[in-house]
Chain A
Amino acid sequence: MKLTTEQFTALEQELDNIKQQVQTQLGDTDARYIRRVLLVQRLSALSGRILLVLGFITPWLWLAGVLLLALAKILDNMEIGHNVLHGQYDWMNDPVLHSKRYEWDIACDAGSWQRTHNFEHHTYTNIIGKDRDFGYGLLRLSNDFRWRLRNLWQGGTYLLLSMLFQWGVSYHELAAQRVFAGKKKADRHTQVSDSELKKAFFGKGARQLVKDYVFFPLIAGPMWLWVLCGNLLANLIRNLWTSTVIFCGHFTKEVYAFNATECEGESRGQWYYRQMLGSSNFTGPTWLHILTGHLSCQIEHHLFPDIPARHYPAMAKQVQAIAAKYAIPYNTGSFVRQYSTVFLRIMRYSLPGGDKAVKAL
């Protein structure tokens, strides 16, 4: 199944062409689209926060407020924040929608996210030992990892991680650098000192906590408890949703993982190939794609992380055709089907044994 050098070069050429076609069309339509999403995000955040206070009229208004605030946080994190921080809209030269300036409504500091996600995860996708997103150092997702006793209750760990997902994401880099606990790893290089990491982690985290659990409850006066609980619930909904979407991107049944040695000195074509095998898509209506920040097209996102995400569904058709041509597995299915395989994987590998995700290609 492994491709020849000529095939890798041809694959690289074909995928580069798809990217270039979209790049040349970027313009007004993309700018209008993302500005409209930003406007909807702002309006739902503002109306959500107001409705939470109006909960004294009827609790239904409070509930609508919770849902609108959760929607605002999901749009901010997924379709706007994640994509803007990838530099998808840097070409617009916009004062808000720029990878260097954007800060999002989540506990994780944008700079830390760019290091762990944009760099580590997107460069070394699914390389065992290099991409810490494969199991987040908490879950055993394949037999490439030795079984430990704590894996026995990883179903519970997974549920907790999902509920507190923003904090998991925010702590991710500090865990990797062993800032608070554990022995430093000799092979990890970083340009950011531990004290800078701590400052960003506590600074951003505290700002988020003060905003949602001190400031807004305080200005709500007698409705403070309603507002506090509403914010807590909105954050919980966002955490569960983002975690679910992200788990569907790399931990489905047929996903592949890799050894560091086989990826050394790889060509761009080989990098593309690895991105296709290491990611999985799910299908659904347009609104679902938008709520996932188009991470429902995880394969296309991994091939073209800096292309505005609204182009992924159209690009997916072309990518799928190319995958078929080179007989590269293209992992897609309905949301329910993909998620159930993720859940089964977490459960299966809580017990010893099983298959390796690093497979002979």
Chain B
Amino acid sequence: MLGNQSSLTLYFLPLLQRLASGFLPGQYRASLLCRQWQTADMLQLSFNVSGRWPGFVPGQHVLLTLQHNGRYISRPFSICSPLSLWQSQQHIQLCCKINRAGEFTPLLNQLKNGAVVNISKAQGDFYWQQPATAAVFVAAGSGITPVAAMLLSQRHWLAPVSLFYRCRGSENAALLSELTQLAARQPLFTLTLSDSRTEPAETLQQQLMTNSSKQFYLCGPAGFMQQIRTALTNSGVSAAQIRQEQFGLAIAAPAEHMAAGLQLSASFIRAGISTQVTLNPQQSLLQNAEQHGLAPRFGCRMGVCFQCVCDKVSGQVRDIRSGALSGHGAEQIQLCVSQPVTELVIKL
């Protein structure tokens, strides 16, 4: 009340940031220890994390926030290091795919040792549910990061575990040496590399079919995972036995959607209740929401009054006025001037 902000921390934020540069409420400071290229485009970052950070379950990810051009930008990254490293030294490692044309990831390669970034609490529900029963892990590309954390954190091996790791040859397989070492010392763990340049996906699918495991963990690009998932369900694996985490969104330009007449969908979350709607990509999100009986607050409907600003949780939108594309992560958008580009999750 005293500072008119929702908390006194926010009121004193300009002063606190003078004292501790980069301080953000609700976030934890992490200082960079070192950077190391795992492959040509996978950069491994080691951080020393503030002792207040509550820790993680292997397989979870954090939102990493940087300030660039005056703007806070956040992206999710899975933790790839074992739990023991955090418990013994308060270190975590992130393995990040660097997209040289992107806005965010090239900045990671410019971070100096000792640089302070902000990370969120660990989040996500992609973790090893029953470590005592046999399991199959399928990872593709950068999808290896949460899977590696799960496997490298495992202390008591009780049942056979297989990892099928699909990548563009062993030179493009991040974290391969750690996983090979694990396979060498742990007889219950088998590692199978699948080269996407020479082996068709069907071979991998057949190998999976022959496995009698009860748990499947999939992590990789959307298209690849859909393919594996379909093959598994066709061979009688129930949906409850498959857990997955999607890496890299299936991005398509709006023009392609319109030409193909494809339908996009969005989940609008209002006061905790989620409504799934089919979107018309040629209309603003405001119009789309209204057509489905949702009534977001609005004003000028031309991008001036900022009454319809709301939180986008994930997905990409296009600014109808400028044609500029938004990021894929969590940020705030104006519904009246935003047009859907990908599947969306929006908090009204």
Contact = CB atoms under 8 A, between A and B. Distances in A.
Q: Do A and B bind each other?
A: yes
Interface of A: 20, 23, 26-32, 35, 38-39, 42-43, 76, 85-87, 90-96, 98-105, 114-115, 118-119, 122-123, 191, 207, 210-211, 215, 305-306
B53 interface: no
Nearest to A30: B70
Given A100-B309, A103-B4, A94 B72 contact: yes
**Nearest 5 CB-CB pairs, A to B?**
A31-B70, A119-B299, A87-B306, A118-B305, A27-B69
A267 to B, nearest CB: 12
Contacts of A91: 71
B13 A95 contact: yes
Given A114-B305, A306-B304, A95 B10 contact: yes
B87 to A, nearest CB: 31
B12 A42 contact: yes
Contacts of B300: 118-119, 122-123
Nearest to B67: A31
Given A32-B70, A103-B4, A306-B306, A191 B332 contact: no
B71 A31 contact: yes
Indicate the member of B13, B18, B303 with the most A CB atoms within 10 Å: B13
Contacts of B302: 123
B70 A29 contact: yes
Contacts of A28: 69-70
Contact of A191 (B4, B10, B73, B295): B295
B207 interface: no
Contacts of B72: 92-94
B309 A90 contact: yes
A114 B13 contact: no
Contacts of B71: 27, 31, 91-93
B15 A42 contact: yes
Contact of B304 (A43, A92, A305): A305
A104 B332 contact: no
B297 interface: yes
Indicate the member of A26, A102, A114 with the most B CB atoms within 10 Å: A114
Query: By DSSP majority rule, is chain B's interface helix, strand, loop, or mixed?
Result: loop
Interface string B223-242: 00000000000000000000
A91 B72 CA distance: 9
Nearest to B297: A191
Given A93-B72, A98-B332, A101-B6, A118 B304 contact: yes
Given A90-B309, A118-B299, 7 more contacts: A31-B69, A93-B71, A95-B25, A104-B4, A114-B305, A115-B305, A123-B299
Indicate the member of B13, B70, B310 with the most A CB atoms within 10 Å: B70
Contacts of B297: 191
Contact of B10 (A31, A32, A96, A119): A96
Contact of B309 (A23, A29, A99, A305): A99
Interface string B72-84: 1100000000000
Contacts of B26: 95
B299 A114 contact: yes
21 contacts: A26-B70, A42-B11, A42-B12, A86-B306, A87-B306, A87-B309, A90-B309, A93-B71, A94-B72, A96-B13, A103-B5, A103-B6, A115-B299, A115-B305, A118-B299, A118-B304, A118-B306, A118-B307, A119-B304, A191-B295, A211-B2
B104 to A, nearest CB: 12
A42 B14 contact: yes
A105 B4 contact: yes
B15 A122 contact: no
A78 B30 CA distance: 36
Nearest to B73: A93
B10 A123 contact: no
B152 interface: no
Nearest to B299: A119
A214 to B, nearest CB: 11
Given A115-B299, A119-B300, A123-B300, A90 B70 contact: no
Nearest to A204: B4
B193 interface: no
Interface in B210-229: none
A191 to B, nearest CB: 6
Contacts of B67: 31
A103 B14 CA distance: 16
Nearest to B74: A93
